[in-house]
Chain A
C-alpha cells in the first residue's frame, strides 16, 4: 500500500502547467488573429464575390475558372517566372563571387571589409530611398543619368524611354543589387569558417586556385546555397515591393507578377474575392517552397527539453 503511494507519479500543479503558456500567449494571440485567421479567410474569400460593396456571396469555384480564362494570365505567369529565376540566378552568382573574392582572395584585408560594407548599403537603406536612384538612372527625360550620358557621347540624339523598353530588366537589376548582400553575409560566414590549414595544405600539394575553389570552398557552401536559394525564391515569388515602387506593374502589364496582380485586383479594382483567389495560388507555391525549406533543418537538434523540473 505504502509502496503504491510512493510510486505515484509526481503531478504538476495546474499553475505550473499553465505557466509556459502564459509566456507564449501574446505571441499566440497575434499569430492567431493576424496569421491563421487571414489564412482561413483567404480560402473562404476566394469562393466569394466580395467586392467594394462588401456584401459577399458564395459563388463556388467561379473565381478559379475565371483565373484560367483570364487573358492576362500567360503573360503574368511568364513575368513571375522570369523575375524569380533571373533574379535568383544572378544574385546568387554575384553573392558567390563577392564572398569568395572578399573572404578568400582578399581575406583579412581592409579593402575586403570596405567592399562588403559598400555592398550592404543597398539593403540597409530604406527601399523608398533606394529605388529613387534607379528611377534617376533610367529616367526617360534628358535629365536621367543614362540618357544624359549617352547624349554627351553622341550615341543617341533623343532621350530613350527605358521603362517602356526594358521595365523588367530594370526591376530585376534593382532587385538583385539589393538582395545580393543577404546571400553574401551567409556565404561569407561559411567561407570564413574554413580552417586556414586546409588552404595551406592545398598550397603545399600544389593545388591551383581553381581546385581550391571547387574542391574546398564549394563543398562547404552546399548547405548555405540551398538555404539562400529557397528563401530568396520564396521572397521573389511572393513580394512585389520594388516592382510597386519602381513601375507599379506597368507599362501595361509588363512587370506585373502573380502576387502583384492579386494585390491590384484586390486593392485597385476592389475585386477582393478574385484577388484572394489569385493570391491563393501564390500562397500555395510559397507553402510548397516553405515545406522544402523546413526539410533543410534538423528539428531534433533545435528542440531541447528543459533541464529544470518544476
Chain B
C-alpha cells in the first residue's frame, strides 16, 4: 500500500468513526418509530396518533392535526413578517444615507451577536403588561425581534452587491427611488430573500422555548412546543416509539426541505466574515 492510499484510508476511518453517532441516530429514529421491539417486527402502531388523540403516561393529548395547522400558519406568518421588515431595513442600511446610520449600524451589529435570551425575564414582564402573554402575537413579536438583526445583516450583504449602475439606469428611465427599489432592486436580491425566508422558516418551525414559556393552552401549541412538553414531562421518556414517530413526522418534511435548499446554507455569507 502506498503512503497516500494509507493516508486516505486513515482519514476515511477517522471520519467514519466521527460520523457514526449521527448515522446511528438516523437509523435509530427510523427503527424506533416503525418497529415493535418486543416482537421484532415492522409495525406502524406508533403512527396511530394520526387518527386519534393519544394517551402518553396518563395524559390525554390533543389531536395532532390542529397542531400541524398551527405550526404551518405560525411558520409562514413568521417568514412573511420577517421578510417584510428586514428587506426595507436592509435596503436603508445598505443604500440610503441618513443621520445616525453609523450608530444604528453598530447597534444592529451589537444586537445581532448579543444574546436576547438573557433579557427574557424582563421581556416576559413587558408582555404581561401589554397583555400579550398566551397570544400568538406575543410569541411572534419576541421571536422576530430576536432573529431580525441576523436577517437584516444577511440582506444588507445582498443589497451591497447590487451594482449602482442598475439603480441609476432605472432612475434615468424615470423611476422614483422607491419604484427603483420595488421594481429593480427587490427582484435582483430575490436569492437573498429566499435565503432569509428559509432561515426564518427553519427557526420558526423549531421554536419551542417561547411556546413553553408564553403559551399555556395545549391546543395553541405548535409541533415543537408539543414535543417539548412530551419529552420534558418526566425526566425519563416512557414510550420512545410514540415520541420518535411524532418526531419523524415532524422532522422529515424539514429534512426534505433542507436537501432542496442546502446550497443556500453553504453560499450565504453567514458571519459577514471579512476574510472568509
Contacts and interface: CB of A to CB of B under 8 A. Distances in A.
Contacts of A38: 119-120, 122-123, 126
Interface string B192-203: 000000000010
6 contacts: A24-B92, A27-B86, A127-B206, A128-B228, A276-B122, A290-B110
B79 to A, nearest CB: 16
Contacts of B125: 41, 45, 50, 272
A51 B177 CA distance: 52
Contact of A177 (B22, B26, B160): B22
Nearest to B97: A306
Contacts of B235: 163, 247-248, 250
B119 A259 contact: no
Q: Kindly name the residue among B117, B255, B265 whose own CB sees the greatest number of chain A CB atoms within 10 A.
A: B117
B57 to A, nearest CB: 14
A294 B117 contact: no
Contact of B262 (A94, A117, A135, A136): A117
A186 B273 contact: yes
Given A41-B126, A128-B231, A238-B117, A94 B18 contact: yes
A297 B227 contact: no
B244 A132 contact: yes
A47 interface: no
Interface string A266-310: 110000100110010011001100100110111101111111101
A279 B97 CA distance: 37
Contacts of A301: 274
Nearest to A267: B213
A303 B244 contact: no
A133 B114 contact: no
Main secondary structure of the interface of A (DSSP, over half): helix
Nearest to A283: B118
Contacts of B122: 37-39, 41-42, 45, 276
Nearest to B177: A310
Interface string B49-89: 00000000000000000000000000000000000011011
A140 B164 contact: no
Q: Kindly name the residue among A21, A119, A128 whose own CB sees the greatest number of chain B CB atoms within 10 A.
A: A128
Contacts of B142: 34
A115 B15 contact: yes
B1 interface: no
A126 B145 CA distance: 20
Contact of B206 (A27, A111, A126): A126
B14 A143 contact: no
A125 B251 contact: yes
A145 interface: yes
A249 B120 CA distance: 18
Given A189-B276, A224-B276, A294-B110, A132 B96 contact: no
Contact of B97 (A20, A136, A145, A259): A20
Contact of A35 (B91, B145, B232, B237): B145
A123 B206 CA distance: 11
A158 interface: no
A101 B105 contact: no
Contacts of B177: 19, 308, 310
Given A129-B251, A279-B118, A20 B228 contact: no
B276 A190 contact: yes
Given A24-B88, A102-B15, A303 B126 contact: no
Nearest to A100: B11
Nearest to A143: B240
Contacts of B120: 38, 263, 279
